[in-house]
């Protein structure tokens, strides 16, 4: 069975085509509507430079660029970056980078970190370090939007076992809470070969983010609970979406 023992899970799983198969329901329409809502809540100017941090294959970045903005997308997975670069232009660039390491110095007017693209690391200090890099990369007065799962609702409604059929592959998903993380084991067979991947995301609360942002000197302006940007409710909201300024 193929496993992910030799690399951090996120370096292996996100760089496979199976990740995109499993989450293909997260489509361009959803991304575009969310971006429209964010822009309505942000005093954007046409000359702004946006960063899509952990951009995946670039669905948010491409739509932002179509709205007339200069956009850079950064992602850790080489295959994601290679795919996204098919859409690159003078005003839309994609690069490989680790959000914990320096990638800009007061370069961006707005940073987007969307679709729970955070909290993958082994310690909270690494997450705090990622927030410090975001602050460093933002221009003074710039905006940060961070979209995370609402861990309170996740814990209340955790589905231990689930099967999803995508194309000719049946994915078995096993979920559990372990050592301050929500863990998802993903197993399936394709072409006669068995595969096993894993997702591990820190159970970060609003209070955790408040501490990270305070240390990074980021100021939280608003907290929302879904992609329609309705107010956050601890046990009811689907998402934890933070709008902050540098």
**Contact between residue 31 and residue 56 where contact means Cβ atoms under 8 Å apart:** no
At 6, is the pLDDT very low, low, confident or very high (cuts 50, 70, 90)? low
- pLDDT tens readout for residues 76-134: 999 999 999 999 999 999 999 999 999 999 999 999 999 999 999 989 999 999 999 99
194-203: average pLDDT: 95
User: Structure pTM?
Assistant: 0.92
Number of domains in the chain: 1
Average pLDDT estimate for 46-57: 96
pLDDT category, 2, cuts 50, 70, 90? very low
pLDDT (tens digit, 9 = 90+) per residue, 141-196? 999 999 999 999 998 889 999 999 999 999 999 999 999 999 999 999 999 999 99
Burial class from Cβ neighbours inside 10 Å (0-12, 13-18, 19+) for residue 4 reads: middle
Q: Is residue 211 in some structural domain?
A: yes
Residue 221 token pair: 């302006």
Q: Does the pLDDT value for residue 27 go beyond 80?
A: no
What are the Cα distances from residue 220, in Å, to 49, 166, 209, 228, 241? 21, 39, 9, 18, 10
CA contacts within 13 A on the Cβ side of 209: 25
- Angle (CA) 20-21-23 rounded to 5° is 65
pLDDT at 40 exceeding the cut of 80: yes
* Mean pLDDT along residues 49-63: 95
Q: Is residue 193 part of a domain?
A: no
Q: How far apart are CA 192 and CA 238, in angstroms?
A: 37
pLDDT band of 20, cuts 50, 70, 90? confident
Q: What pLDDT, in 10s, does the model give residues 206-215?
A: 999 999 999 9
Tokens of 98: 């680790």
Q: How far apart are CA 61 and CA 40, in angstroms?
A: 17
**Two structure tokens written together for 151:** 């861990």
Task: Provide the token pair at 222.
Answer: 């608003």
30 domain-assigned: yes
- Structural domain includes residue 61: yes
Do the domain assignments include residue 110?
yes
Tell whether 209 is covered by a domain: yes
Range of the domain at 209: 23-148+204-245
Output the domain CATH number for residue 134: 3.40.50.150
Cα(110)–Cα(217) distance, integer angstroms: 15
Q: Is residue 216 part of a domain?
A: yes
**Is a pLDDT exceeding 90 seen at residue 201?**
yes
Query: Residue 65: inside a domain, yes or no?
Result: yes
Element (H, E) at 66: helix 59-66
């Amino acid at each position: 069975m193929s496993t992910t023992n030799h690399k951090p899970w996120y370096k292996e799983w996100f760089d496979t085509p199976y990740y995109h198969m499993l989450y293909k329901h997260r489509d361009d329409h959803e991304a575009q509507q969310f971006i429209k809502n964010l822009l309505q809540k942000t005093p954007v100017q046409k000359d702004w430079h946006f960063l899509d941090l952990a951009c995946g294959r670039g669905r948010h970045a491409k739509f932002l660029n179509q709205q007339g903005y200069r956009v850079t997308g950064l992602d850790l997975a080489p295959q994601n970056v290679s795919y996204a670069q098919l859409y690159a232009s003078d005003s839309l660039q994609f690069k490989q980078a680790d959000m914990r390491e320096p990638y800009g110095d007061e370069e961006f007017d707005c940073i987007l970190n969307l679709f729970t693209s955070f909290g993958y690391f082994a310690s909270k200090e690494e997450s705090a370090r990622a927030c410090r890099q975001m602050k460093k990369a933002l221009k003074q007065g710039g905006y940060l939007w961070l979209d995370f799962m609402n861990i309170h609702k996740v814990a209340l409604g955790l589905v231990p076992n689930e099967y999803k059929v995508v194309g000719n592959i049946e994915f078995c998903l096993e979920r559990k809470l372990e050592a301050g993380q929500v863990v998802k084991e993903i197993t399936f067979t394709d072409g006669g070969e068995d595969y096993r991947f894993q997702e591990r995301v820190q159970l970060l609360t609003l209070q955790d983010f408040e501490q990270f942002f305070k240390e990074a000197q980021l100021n939280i302006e608003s907290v929302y609970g879904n992609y329609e940007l309705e107010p956050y409710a601890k046990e009811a909201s689907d998402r934890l979406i933070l709008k902050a300024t540098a």
